[in-house]
Structures are given as structure tokens and as C-alpha cells.
Structure 1
Amino acid sequence: MDALLEAVTAARAVWPAGRVEGTEGARLLAVNDALGTARRLLEAASTQIAAEIARQSRPELGADSLAKANGFRTATALLASTLGTSNGEASRLVQVGDATAPRLLLSGGEAPAKHPHVGAALAAGAIGALAASAIVSMLDRVALRATPDDLEAAERTLAGQAPGLTLDQLAKVIARAEAHLDPDGVPPREEELRGQRFLRMQEDRSGMLHLTGAFDPEHGAAIMVAIDAIVGAELGAQRDADASSDVDAPRRSVTMMRADALVKICEHLLGCDRRDTPLRGATVVVRMTLEDLQSGTGHATIDGLAAPVSIATARRMAADAGIIPVVLGGDSEILDWGRQRRLFTRAQKLALTERDGGCAMCGVPPGHTKVHHIRWWARDRGPTDLDNGILLCESCHHRIHDNGWDIRIDGTGIHARVWFIPPAHVDPQQTPRLGGRRRYDYLAA
């Protein structure tokens, strides 16, 4: 509670006088950071209170239950009503509180928290209740199929990686951690997902055709890569047109462009002389270790998708579509061009995709990125070599160049680490921020 009061005091200290509108950017960011810390600490306190309310509202207490004494059937109903939230959110608060606080024994003594590393991160304001719930839920799911040491190591790793990630980004890390802890659980989950795939087509009264669907990773990867490739090419052509013309052309949203891309794919298949020829999935990149491929155990990942797939699925995809090898740089491929050419080759981009995973700064899929020179081609006379290349989306590329960010690469090849160094006006200490694939992959202990 002292930490929460300190966080609130810190937020008040940087709060702008008068109206927030027009406040200097640096002060706004300082207030936002302070409020974020205070919010996470408040959530941590709420989980403890919620767990204790639930403990004092146990069904076996009957009429003496705290919830029933206050006119509520359950502790969840009491919490949802008083906090102004949903029953599901109230249940999550109780779940996290039970899992991260020391437990009372029947003897009156205390036992350690079930998940102390998550509890420590929560109490320090490093993560919020939703992040803690996601980690705890996964660990509980695999508790019977993983060793205590592996579970403890995974909890420590996830609690350390979670700060700074959005919930969507954390979900990717958790999915891969679960596959690491329970590789035998990946095939059954895949089979369940395959059985749930569907596509519904319905024409409404206006003539609009509505498509609603869900696809398992194996089948969804081809759809995502094909559509995103067309959209990426159109966005690039649109930027080139904007640069060469002063006339504002009509704009389509990305969702409209995806719809048009699906139409193009269908039109292409309808007009193809060989109707049985599938779209080749050469840009669907499936990753696995050589050991897992040979043994048939473990799991694989597909670029752009969070859910891991089984080795059996990876082999089936390879047989259907052909997969570009991860090992590049043989006699037939030149990966370093020096100053002989300005643009990076497709082979170089594939090699950098192994290291960066997509945009090295924000994590969008590889299809939405281009390879950029770290040391500029014209200004710094930087070479077109792998160690001087980085995958960036257009937005992050402009942010780095326009706002004074620096990039540092530690090591060489696909195992190198990418670091982004913020300018002094963003972070006076200029603390390096990890980028690339290592930021979003699960780093097994």
C-alpha cells in the first residue's frame, strides 16, 4: 500500500496545472508513466482484497459468508457490483489474488504463494492483473504435465519478460512457453482447432456478402500470407504515388484492401487454366529445430502467427507448399553486397527475417516491412550487408530517422541481438531497448 501511495504522489507531482490540453509532450509521457504504475499497483491491491473477500465468503460459511451478509449470493457478484466490472473480471481478480499471495494454513501459519515470481512483479507494479492472470492460467493448465523446476523457471522467465509488452504480445510469448512446457499438448490442441474451423457466407438485404470464419494455424497461415502480400504491395505503390503527385487520391482502409485482395485471389483462381494448381506458399515460413524435425517431437512456429504447431503439421505443410530453408548463404546466394548494389536482395531479407522476425521495433509481420540500412546508404556510405540491414515497417523507419533513435547490433548472423537506443529527450539515460525476434519469442530458461 505504501508503494501505491508513492505512485499516486509521483503522478500528482508531474500532473500539469490547469487543463491537460496543450501540455508539453515530455510531461504528458511522465504523467502517463506514473499513472500506469499507480494503476498496476492499484490492481495488485485489488487482487489481494478480492481474494480475501472470496475467502471470507466461502460456501461452507453459510449465512456467515461475507457476501451473503451483504446481500450477494457469491463473492464474485459482490466484487462485480462494488467495482463496477463484470463477473469474469471479478473472478480474475480472485484468481490472481489466490495465486500470488501467501496462503493461510489450517494451523494458522502461512505457506508461500503458489506463484511468487508473478506475485513479486505484480506487487512491484511491473505488470497488471490481466497479465498476471494470463501467466497464472497457463501455468495452472500445464501443472500436471511439467516438472516443478520447469514450471518455476517458466514463471520466473515470463514475469521478467512481461513488463513493457502489450497483452497481445504477451499472449504470443505465453503460447510459445506453453508449447515448450507441454509439447505433447500441441497436437491435441491443433486437432481441436481444426475441428472448429468454419467459413460462413451470408448475403444481407442490401446485397452485401458477409464472410465470417475462423481457421486453425495450419490453414490460416496461407490465407494471411497471401492477403498480406497483396496489401503490402498496394501500400508500397500507394506511397510511391503519393511521393510523385500533389493530388490526394481516394483512400481505402486496410480492411477494404484486404477484402479486395481476397477478391483478386479468387479471380486469379477462377481465371487460371489449371484449376487444380494451388497458390504456392513459398513465403509461409515455418521454424523448428533440426532435432525436433528429426525426432518428430517438440513444436514449430509460423511467421506472423502466435500459436505453435506440431512437428507433424510442419512436415505436412512442407510437403504441400515447399518451405524455404532457414540456412542461407550457400554458394548460390550472396548475402553481403558491400557498395555494389543499394537494394537488399530477397535472400538477404529472408536471412534478416530469421533475426528480426518482422519489424524489429514494433513486431508487425515481415510482409509489412522493408530492409533498411542502419548506416545510411547515401549519408554514411553504409554497405548493403546483413550486419548493416534491419527490418522496419514504414512507420518505425520514419520514427527512427526523424526522432534521433540509434540502432546497435550485438553479434553477427541470425542470433545477433538488436537494440534500439532512444534519444535523450525520450530517455535521459538512453537505456537500450531490446528489439527483433528475441523481444517477442519465449526465452526458455
Structure 2
Amino acid sequence: MRETLEQLRDTAGHCASTPAWTLSNPDLVDALHTIHDAEQMLTATKLHLIREIEGRNLPIAQEAANTAVWLRERLHITIHTARRTVDLAKTLDQRPALDVALSTAAVNTEQAHIVAKTVQDLASEATPDMVDLAEKALITEFADWEPTILRKAAQRILTHVAPEAADEADRRATERDEKRAQQTRAFTLTNNGDGRFRVTGWLDPEAAAIVNAALDPLCKPDLESTPAQRRADALVEVCRLALRTEQLPANGGDRPQVVVTVPYDVVRKELGVGQLDTGERLTAEQVRRLACDAHIIPIVLGGQGQILDVGQQRRLFTGPLRRALVVRDGGCAFPGCDRPPQWCDGHHIRHWTNGGDTALNNGVLLCGHHHRVIHRGEWEVRIADDGRPEFIPPPYVDSERRPRRNIYHRRT
């Protein structure tokens, strides 16, 4: 077998180095299918090897905690992938029909995982004969279905092979899924080390429905962002809304808030790069934008790190002053924006670090997106003679830079 595998590796290397452009269109498609089938057969072979390795206790003998950990170190894969691989190897050892299906590429690896999980779940809900029928049906009748559709079919497979037992099995399966979803619910915010944070987690169906209901109204389609970007923005907006409700529990005796520490160049009269209380760095533009937010507390440092000032609520657009902004602007004041006032920040037209007052004639309501637009400096905002905000577009939008207003929120 070892000699065969070495020849196989040489052949695979030769295929990888052969240019694909030499193939005709039909040959190109045939080659893709051939490689895909070979991958499934090789996966079955790898699973057989893993099962034999585990059966000989090689991982334990080499001081690994278990086979999954041993695979992670040997194959440089994630522990999640390693565990799924070990589980599938065990299932193939117990389910000869599924083993043959993967070994002959009748099913692919993703489909095999679904079939394996299905027969494992059914083992506690149906008779062995019913489980065998379900496995056979998934392999022979539904093998042409892609994994997402196959998974849905697998959830109702008893209705297909044993309808008399399906209702009771569905009830037990629903209870089991609900319990598992509750036990495994999680939310993780991981620093990726490159200025990005990765959000991962699991929710039960009810919680997911609540989250979707909160995010969907904030995911209005636009041409400047992808659906994934809009969902990310919506998540942040929902949290902003929660902070504004003043109904969140206290955190260390204070209301939840974001603290930004930022050096201040007294000579040049400008803010430098800031730092959140979590240790993450922010650009000067981000600091200026955050300082407008009603729940951002700016801590300004001098040249030797001494605290020059800690922002207070009087600097922020709260209380009667915010209500006045809401009455005047009606929502985001940027031209064409329909965001309501509860989604908006009070922005200082002349920033407070430059001596700007927290006053009606120096403030304007902006949603998160347009707040970022204004802080980039290409658009300008000012209060016109009639006391309402107007925006001056950059030359690439309007070469004459004619003032624009938001007419969406007008009441008269």
C-alpha cells in the first residue's frame, strides 16, 4: 500500500504541474469530475488509516490527549476539523454501506458527514431496520442533492422511509435540538491582530429570529456595501441603540460606555492616534468621530501623558439639546438619508477640541454611515441662515459645490 500511495502522490504532483489550458472544454469538465471523485476515494482511505491509527492507540502512545489533538498537530488542521474527521472515521467503521458509498465516490465527504450524523441521531429514535432504510435512501435516492438540500431531506427522512414513526421521532428530535442549542449557545469576539475582530457563535432558532428581526430593518440595500457589510453595520447600530436606551445594567457602577484615551498636540491643536480602554488603537479620524457620540468619554492626554481633560456629559448632545436637534433635523440630516433620530449621533460641526460649542447652531444629527463620511472631510456641513443644516458636496459630486439639504424628514 505504501508503494501505491507514493506512486499516487507522484501522479498527483504531475497533474498539479500540468497546465489546464491544453484541455478541451469537455475534457476540462471531465477532469474536474475525475479529480473530485478521486478526492472522495482518497478521503475514505484517509479515514480508514485514521481508524486503524486510533485502534492501535498510537496517539496515546505518543503522549497526545486524543486522536483529534494528534491529527491537529500532525496534519496542521483545526481541532474542529480533526474532531469531525475522527467522528466520520468511527461512523464509516460502523456503517459499511456509507463506507462503500464514499470509497466509490457515490457520495462526497460533505454528504457523508450529513448521512453519518443522521444515522447517529436516528439510533436513539428508531429501530435498527429504520436506520438502515434511512441510510440507504440518503445514499441512493438523495445523493444528487447538494449538502444544504440533503441536510433538509435528512431531517425528514423518517417520513420517507417510516412514516408511522416519523411524528414521534420529530418531536424527540426537536426537543433534542432545542436542548443542544441552549447548551452550546455562544458568542465570541476575537482579535484577529490586523485591526479586525472576528465574530463567531451559535444561537438557538428563537434567539436567531430575534437577532434577525433587529438587524433586518437596518440592512437596507445600497450600492456601496455588500450584504455581509450591511449586516455587520446593523449589528453595531443595534448596540448603539441599546446604549442610548439608558436601560442597560450598570457596569462597575457606571452606565455602559466606550472610553477613548487620546494625546492632544497643544501646539498644533489637533488630536493624535487614540486608544480604547481595551487597548486597541484608533486613527485620529475615528477618535474625532467617536467623540461626537453621546456615549463616548474622551480622555485627553498632554505631552507627558498627564490627563488634560475627561469629557463630561455637558459636552454631548443630550437632554433638551438633543430633543431640539431631533425636532429640527427629524433624523439623519445628510441629503437623501432616511435614518430616524434614534439611529443618529449628535455631531459637532466645529469640533469641541477646536473650541466648538455644544449648541444647536453647532450640531447636526448624523447616522453612523454619514458620520463617517463627514469625518473624512470631503463633504462639509454648515448651518444656513434659516437655522437648518446644509451640506456642501465635494467637486467630484458637484463641480459647482451647490449646498444640499435632506428633504426626507421635512414636516412642512
TM-score of the two chains, using structure 2 as the length reference: 0.40
By relative contact order (CA 8 Å, sep 6+), the higher-ranking structure is 1
